[in-house]
Structure 1
Amino acid sequence: MSFVIKRRVNYKVRSGASSLYFPAIFTENGLLLSHLRFLYNNRAKSPSWIERNIFAVELLLKFIERQVGLFSSATELLRAFVETLQFGTIQDGQDNSGLFWGPRRNEDVNVLLGHITYYCDYLDTIHGTDLPKLNPLRKATHAEQRLQWCAYYRRSSRSFLNHLTKPSQQPFSFARKIRGPERHFVDVEAVYRFPEDRIEDLLLHGFVSAAGEPDYASQLIVMLMHFGGLRLSECFHIYTGDISIDPQSGSALISVFHPSDGTSPDERFSKRNEYLANKYRLNPRNEYSRSHRLYAGWKGPLLTNRNLSFDVMFYPASKAVEFTLLLQKYLSTKPASESPFLFVNSKGSPESKKNFNQKHNRAVQRIGLEPSKSLGTTPHAHRHSYGYRLSQRGFSQLEIQKAMHHKSPDSCLVYLKRTDSEIRELFRNVI
C-alpha cells in the first residue's frame, strides 16, 4: 500500500557530528533521503519555509502516485500538477483521482511551485543533468527578460550595499518552462490598529488576575509593542540582562539581540546559541519547531549595533521611564527561573506566545472589547499603532523605518496607511 507521511527524525550529516532534529518524508519505499539532505543544506531558513517546502513535496509525491502513468514526460507531469493545484480535482461532484483537492489561490500555487523547483534544482546539482528535469530552463522571451531585469533592479534599489552588485545578463536570458498562474496585484493590506483611547484601560484594567493582582509581565510586553514598536516574537528573545537604566533620566535602555548570533552576555561564550546550549541546555527560541511551546519567530529586522542587536525606541519618550517603574515591580515578583529570558510564566519557564495571546484576548474582553484582527484588538495591532503614531507626529519615512527596524524603507508604508473609513471622513470634510 502506497503512502506519504511526515515524521521528525534525528539526522547526522556525518559520523561524529551533532544530531539535528528535522522533519522528514517517508513513503512505502522508505525515507526520502535526498529531501532530508536538501533541508539540512537549507537549515538556516525559517521553520515556516521548511514546513512549506515539506508540504509542497508531500503534495507532489501524492500526485505522482496517482497520476504518474498518464504523462509522457516529467515536465508534462509538473504542468498537470500545477493545474491540479490551481483548479482542484473535483469536477461535477466527482473525483476520479482520489485526491479530493480543492482549488488553491494563485499566490499559493506559485509558492508551492517555487518550492518544488528549488528542490529539483538541488537534485540536478547532486545527480547531474542525465535525469529527466521537472522544470527545465528555456530561452526567455524578450518581454520575460525585461520583466526579470525590472524585478532585479527593484530588489536591488531597496537593498543595502546594492552598489556592490553587478548582475550578469545570462540569468535573465532564461525562464522556467512551467510557470504558475498569474499573480493578482491587489492592494488588500488592511490597517488594523489598537485604539489609542483604550490602551491605558487595557494596561491598567485588562491584565489582572482573578484575584485582582496586576500581570506586570503582560503589561510590559504590551508596552514594548505599543510604545516600542516591537513584534510580539521579538519580546520573547529579550534576556533580563539586555535591559539597563539611564542613571540621569531613569529611562529603560533595551537591546534586542539576534537570537543565535548576537553577542553572548557571558564572555566565556562568543554567541548566544553557544551561551544557551552550554549554560541552560536551551536552543535559541526561533530554532524550535513552530509547534514547540518555546518557539518564537525572528523576521530578520535591521540590526544597528556591532553586537548584532537593535535598540528599542520608545515613543512618547516618557514611556521609557514608565517602563522602568513597571519593570521594577515585575522583577520584585518574578518567579525564580532556570533561563535568562526576561518574560517567564508562573512556574518560571519562558513565557510562550500562545499563553500570552490567550492573556491578551482575555484582557481585551475584560475592558469590553472583542478580540479580532479586523477591530485592531490583536497583539500585532499594537505595532501598527506605533508606526501610525510616528507618522501622525511628523516623522519621516526613513525615521520610521529606523524606529521600526525595517531593512527596506518601503516596509513601513503599510503601518502608515489610513483606514478606508478615515479616508471617507477626509472626503466628507473637504469643501
Structure 2
Amino acid sequence: MFSEPDRLLTSFILRLRSGTLDERGIDPSGLYWEPKSFLNTKNIIRCLISLLNWLEPKCTKTHKLIQNDFRSVLLYSAWYRKNINDFLGHTKSFKNCTLSYKEMNYCSTKTHLVAEGDAVAFPEETFKNLFFDGFSTQRDLRISIRDKLILLLMHGGGVRESEAMSLWVSDIELDPLNSNAALVKIYNEEQGVAPYGWKSNRGGNSRKLFLKEKYGRVPRVSMFNTEHLGWKGGTIDHKDGYIIVNWFPSYYGEIFLRLWKIYHQYRASILCNHPYAFISFHKKHFGFPYTLNAFHQNYKNALKRINLLPSKHAGYDPHGHRHIAI
C-alpha cells in the first residue's frame, strides 16, 4: 500500500496512537488495531530502532537497502525535531546530519516544555465577591452551581480551565481521608484508563477507546470545533493516567463536594451521549459538553456584576486563579 518508506513509517506510528478503526467502526485495512497508549507506542518505536541496530551487521545487501530506507526516515525525523525549535534551524542541511541512534531515540521521545511566563494572580480579596455575587445572580441555578464548581477547581485546586472542563462524572469521588471533601482526578483523555473497569472486546481500556466504542466520540483534545480542549500535559500522579487535585486551603474541597452533590442531581436527570461532568443548559445546546467559549462569556459577565472588567494585567482572567499572589 506504500511506495515510500516515510509514508509507511508515519502511518504505522499514527495508527499505533489512533487505531485503525474510524468513528463508525469501519476498518478498510482489516487490521482492527485498538489505540495504544503513549508509553506502549514509545516502547514499540524503541523496539523498532533496536531491531534495525541489531540487523545492521547481519543483513544481506537486499535487506541492507530496505534497512537504509527506514534508517534515513528515522534519522530525518529526529533531525527535523531537533532543529525545528532552533532559530537558525532552517539554515542547516540534513545531508550534514550525523545523529547517532542514541541521539535519534532521545530526540524522538523528548517532551518539549513551554514556559507560561509571569502570570498575575487573581486578587485573593476579590475572590469571595466574585464567587458569591458574580456567579450567584444567574437566572438558572444549575448554571450558577456549574460555573462555581469550575471556579473552585481553578482557584482552590490550581487546575487549568481546560482541565476542569475535561472532567467526567466518574472522576469525582469522596475523599477517603476526609468524607466531607471531594477527591477529584484529572485524566488525560488519550492515555488515561477508562472508568468502572471497562475493557473492550480485545482488552483495551483507554479512555480514547472508551469514547469511541461507547459514545462514537473522539477526545476533546483531538477536536477542531468549539468543544476542543487543550492539554499541556505534565507529571501524572498515578499509572492510570491522572493527576489529583490538591485543595488549598483544604476547605475548598468541602465546598466543592457540597455544590457537586446538588449539581450531580441535575446532571444525572439529563440523558447525555457523553461522560463529561459539565454540560450546557442553553436550549440550543442542552445536554452537550460545556465549551470554553461559553464559560469565558459567563466569566466576563460575572466580573461585570461586581463592577470589574476582564484584565490579564490585573489578574482578572481565568488563568489568574492558578497563581498565588506574593
Q: Per the shorter chain, which TM-score range?
A: 0.5 to 0.7
Other-structure match for 2:310:
371
Code of the residue aligned with 1:383 in structure 2: it is R
Other-structure match for 1:124:
none
Q: Which runs of 5+ in 1 are unaligned?
A: 1-10, 21-43, 45-109, 118-133, 141-165, 172-186, 389-417, 419-431
Other-structure match for 1:271:
206
Cα shift at 1:375: 1.3
Structure whose alpha-carbon radius of gyration is higher: 1
Cα shift at 1:268: 2.3
Is it true that 1:219 corresponds to 2:153 in the alignment? no
- Aligned residues: CA RMSD: 3.4
Code of the residue aligned with 1:207 in structure 2: it is F
Other-structure match for 2:190:
260
Cα shift at 1:136: 1.0
1:351 aligned residue (284, 290, 304):
290
State whether residues 138 and 144 of structure 2, in contact with CA within 8 Å, keep that contact through their aligned partners in structure 1.
Answer: no
Work out the CA distance in 1 between the residues paired with 2:145 and 2:240. 29
SS at match of 1:380: helix
Other-structure match for 2:228:
295
Distance 1:235 1:212, change over 3 A: closer
Code of the residue aligned with 1:252 in structure 2: it is A
State whether residues 278 and 289 of structure 2, in contact with CA within 8 Å, keep that contact through their aligned partners in structure 1.
Answer: yes
Q: Which runs of 5+ in 2 are unaligned?
A: 1-10, 24-37, 39-83, 108-114
2:322 aligned residue (380, 383, 401):
383
Work out the CA distance in 2 between the residues paired with 1:300 and 1:331. 28
Distance 1:210 1:321, change over 3 A: closer
Per-residue CA deviations over 1:337-389 (Å, capped at 9, x if unaligned) read 2211111111111101111011111101111111111111110000013xx4x
Work out which structure has the larger RCO, using CA pairs closer than 8 Å and 6 or more positions apart in sequence.
2
SS at match of 1:339: coil
Cα shift at 1:191: 3.5
Give the structure-1-normalised TM-score: 0.47
Other-structure match for 2:241:
308
Work out the CA distance in 1 between the residues paired with 2:123 and 2:251. 20
Cα shift at 1:209: 5.1
Work out the CA distance in 2 between the residues paired with 1:188 and 1:297. 14
Give the structure-2-normalised TM-score: 0.62
Work out the CA distance in 1 between the residues paired with 2:86 and 2:291. 30
Distance 1:211 1:308, change over 3 A: closer
Work out the CA distance in 2 between the residues paired with 1:377 and 1:215. 19
Other-structure match for 1:202:
130
Total equivalences in the alignment: 228
Cα shift at 1:260: 1.1
Per-residue CA deviations over 1:118-167 (Å, capped at 9, x if unaligned) read xxxxxxxxxxxxxxxx7316989xxxxxxxxxxxxxxxxxxxxxxxxx87
Q: Which runs of 4 or more aligned residues in structure 1 lie more than 4 Å from their structure 2 counterparts after TM superposition?
A: 11-14, 16-20, 110-114, 137-140
Work out the CA distance in 2 between the residues paired with 1:188 and 1:350. 27
SS at match of 2:149: helix
Work out the CA distance in 1 between the residues paired with 2:103 and 2:190. 32
Work out the CA distance in 1 between the residues paired with 2:139 and 2:163. 30
Distance 1:112 1:361, change over 3 A: farther
Work out the CA distance in 2 between the residues paired with 1:197 and 1:342. 29
SS at match of 2:195: coil
Which stretch of the first structure deviates more once superposed, 259-268 or 344-353? 259-268
Is it true that 1:251 corresponds to 2:190 in the alignment? no
Work out the CA distance in 2 between the residues paired with 1:279 and 1:303. 25
SS at match of 1:211: coil
Distance 1:303 1:135, change over 3 A: same
Work out the CA distance in 2 between the residues paired with 1:365 and 1:273. 39
Work out the CA distance in 2 between the residues paired with 1:352 and 1:188. 23
Distance 1:139 1:302, change over 3 A: same
Work out the CA distance in 1 between the residues paired with 2:303 and 2:320. 12
Cα shift at 1:197: 0.8
Give identity over the alignment, percent: 27
State whether residues 157 and 248 of structure 2, in contact with CA within 8 Å, keep that contact through their aligned partners in structure 1.
Answer: yes
Per-residue CA deviations over 1:184-234 (Å, capped at 9, x if unaligned) read xxx994441111011111111111455374611110001000000001111
Distance 1:218 1:138, change over 3 A: same
